[in-house]
Structure 1
Amino acid sequence: MRFNKLDLNLLVILNALLTERNITHAAEKVFLSQSATSSALARLRAYFNDELLVAAGRQMMLTPRARDLVEPVREVLMRIDTTIAAQPRFDPASEARDVILLVSDYTTAVLVPPLLAALYREAPGLRLHLRHQHDKPADLLEKGDADFLVIPSQYLSKEHPSAALFEDDYLCVTWEGNSRVRERLTFDDYLACGHVAAAFTTGKPLASFDGWFMESFDVKRRVEVTAPTLTALPSLVVGTDRIATVHRRIALQAQQTLPIRVWEPPPRIPRLVQMLQWHKHRNNDPAIRWIRERIIEVAATV
């Protein structure tokens, strides 16, 4: 199909090229050969009278015209997918569908197991793919590379709708043989102990928590150990005088199997509000709406 002399099939390839900035990767994304993708790029260059992608060493860079096309092309394809291509009805008992969720290890431990059980009973044909959250998880939602994002409220994108799932607070965790913390955990103890904290792709241990802590108390925690997951923190204090500050649900789960003690944190820490977010153009997709409602229902029982 052509519109204003443009083969609309090329828009899918153009979106892949603009996103991947690599002919080989774009070809894999749209299930074409490298030569067919190169041919499509040549046709796109002729239509727009612009190089679109230019070599810069081993990489390819977008021209100014290509950068201007990124959002409009993505927007057009997303609208087509959610208004024309989407099925008007969704029968959970019989339909098959891939669903991509961006989740943290905390969400995977707390929310995902009961969610999988509920979806298996009602929609056995759903195939769920859990993806790790990177520095900017909302970007994957924006690109259409994920269906849902589960994230604390302070990290929500303002561009897309969301719903509250559940809240959690925090506990401090120490080894039961900790020589410093015996009868109670004081604020001085909290500052004197070395800390075990989470560090993600940026390498900054719990930047938001530490920033809040510094702003509130004008002191800095002494972080001695960092780990790439939140759920690992309780096990990493065992055999040491260190302390970890983790979500209450993680601490209580860990207490069932580890030689640890849990304490109410001496500083009053703001509660976590865990949110669900989805793309604005998929708001009325029957399948997305049904899955969204199930996630919210399951979260209410966590």
Structure 2
Amino acid sequence: MDFHGIDLNLLAAFDALMSERNVTRAATRVGVSQPAMSAALSRLRKQFGDPLFLRSADGLLPTPRARELAQPIMQALRQIEATLVKKPEFVPGTATLKVNLGLSDYPAFVLLPTLLEAIAQQAPGVSIDVHAFHDRDHAVDLLDAGAIDVAIGIPPSHAESRILTRPILRDEFVTIIARDHPAARRAMNMKTYLSLPHVLVSPEGQRHGLVDEALAQQGKQRTLALTLPQMFAVPAIVARSGMIATILKRVVLNSPASRKLAFFPPPVALPEIVLHLIWHRRSDGLAAQQWFRALIENVASSL
């Protein structure tokens, strides 16, 4: 490869293609037409002697050579940009900005109220549009499409170089029962646990969850009295019934019914739940987005 024949615009095109995995979106990102981006891809292939990107149903798939080049080229471009381009300073207190935030129900319930309070105090000109996503990989689709700037949820099922994540919030499962229930006055052992009617939270509508899988490994089964698609009504239901439930602790603590409940460690081993901040590499260096992500992390740590 002739080093002196390299066009920096080609490297910018490569970086955009690597991030977007789509010729049209990559063209929009660097401010050229779709035919110009296609021509740039042809020149890149000739320059590096490799196809670099292969078309598939999921968009452009980078070859091993492209993956090898991605990080060094991205770092070189960012260094050049930092040296030559002076970015405008982002001042939260005076900024006017709309941020698109992807949230599932759980962080919307646990994190969003405190986050909005912090925004009102620090950046009153910043508004938030919340977008729902139905699974971890749907969040990636929204980030790829530019429909959201950042998401909070379970990390994607497959690691992708264009998608960045960082853990920000942890939670654990607790078993709850009405404080005045006779079983609340003794230890929640397996015998007591299995003798009571249970509430199951199942977004997919299945009558089988993490607890049931853990019990099945021990050859045990619980009695389900109620199945719900989401967990936020569960504390109030349990507080007024003879049922018990095993749900995430922060949901219970944020419920008005928490004072009417007794908490126990589940008598089966359940995994810790870790929520991540998820964003696209193309917004990684933007000052406003960096501020917003840092604010989310600070709010999460305060919880």
Deviation at 1:141, TM superposition (A): 1.9
Aligned CA distance change for structure 1 residues 154 and 284 (closer, same or farther; 3 Å): closer
Q: Tell me the residue number matched to 1:94.
A: 94
Amino acid at match of 1:151: G
Deviation at 1:268, TM superposition (A): 2.3
Q: Tell me the residue number matched to 2:276.
A: 275
TM-score, structure 1 as length reference: 0.64
Aligned CA distance change for structure 1 residues 154 and 143 (closer, same or farther; 3 Å): closer
Matched, 1:74 2:60: no
Q: Tell me the residue number matched to 1:213.
A: 214
Q: Is the 8 A contact 1:174 1:260 kept in 2?
A: yes
Matched, 1:167 2:118: no
Deviation at 1:281, TM superposition (A): 1.4
SS in structure 1 opposite 2:187?
coil
SS in structure 1 opposite 2:245?
strand
Aligned CA distance change for structure 1 residues 209 and 153 (closer, same or farther; 3 Å): farther
CA distance in 2, matches of 1:268, 1:134: 26
Amino acid at match of 2:214: F
- Cα deviations by residue, 1:139-161 (Å, 9 ceiling, x for unpaired): 21222111111113475754511
Query: CA RMSD, aligned part only?
Result: 3.1
Aligned CA distance change for structure 1 residues 226 and 211 (closer, same or farther; 3 Å): closer
CA distance in 2, matches of 1:184, 1:229: 27
Amino acid at match of 1:280: R
How is 1:257-268 mapped onto 2 (pairs within 5 angstroms)?
259-268=260-269
Aligned CA distance change for structure 1 residues 290 and 240 (closer, same or farther; 3 Å): same
Gaps of 5+ in 2: 1-19, 33-86
CA distance in 2, matches of 1:122, 1:210: 41
Q: Tell me the residue number matched to 1:149.
A: 151
SS in structure 2 opposite 1:167?
strand
CA distance in 2, matches of 1:219, 1:154: 32
Deviation at 1:207, TM superposition (A): 6.8
Aligned CA distance change for structure 1 residues 294 and 80 (closer, same or farther; 3 Å): farther
Aligned CA distance change for structure 1 residues 228 and 131 (closer, same or farther; 3 Å): farther
Q: Is the 8 A contact 1:101 1:147 kept in 2?
A: yes
Deviation at 1:274, TM superposition (A): 1.4
CA distance in 2, matches of 1:219, 1:76: 57
SS in structure 1 opposite 2:22?
helix
Amino acid at match of 1:194: P
Deviation at 1:168, TM superposition (A): 1.6
Q: Tell me the residue number matched to 1:250.
A: 251
Q: Is the 8 A contact 1:138 1:157 kept in 2?
A: no
CA distance in 2, matches of 1:156, 1:243: 35
CA distance in 2, matches of 1:154, 1:279: 12
CA distance in 2, matches of 1:94, 1:161: 28
SS in structure 2 opposite 1:161?
strand
CA distance in 2, matches of 1:242, 1:215: 20
Aligned CA distance change for structure 1 residues 290 and 93 (closer, same or farther; 3 Å): same
CA distance in 2, matches of 1:207, 1:144: 35
SS in structure 1 opposite 2:118?
helix
Q: Is the 8 A contact 1:180 1:241 kept in 2?
A: no
Amino acid at match of 1:101: L
Q: 1:138 aligns with which of 140, 151, 154?
A: 140
Gaps of 5+ in 1: 1-68, 82-86
Amino acid at match of 1:186: N
- Cα deviations by residue, 1:159-179 (Å, 9 ceiling, x for unpaired): 511111121212111123445
Amino acid at match of 1:183: R
Amino acid at match of 2:252: A
CA distance in 1, matches of 2:220, 2:151: 33
Aligned CA distance change for structure 1 residues 80 and 223 (closer, same or farther; 3 Å): farther
User: Which deviates more, 130-139 or 173-182?
Assistant: 173-182
TM-score, structure 2 as length reference: 0.64
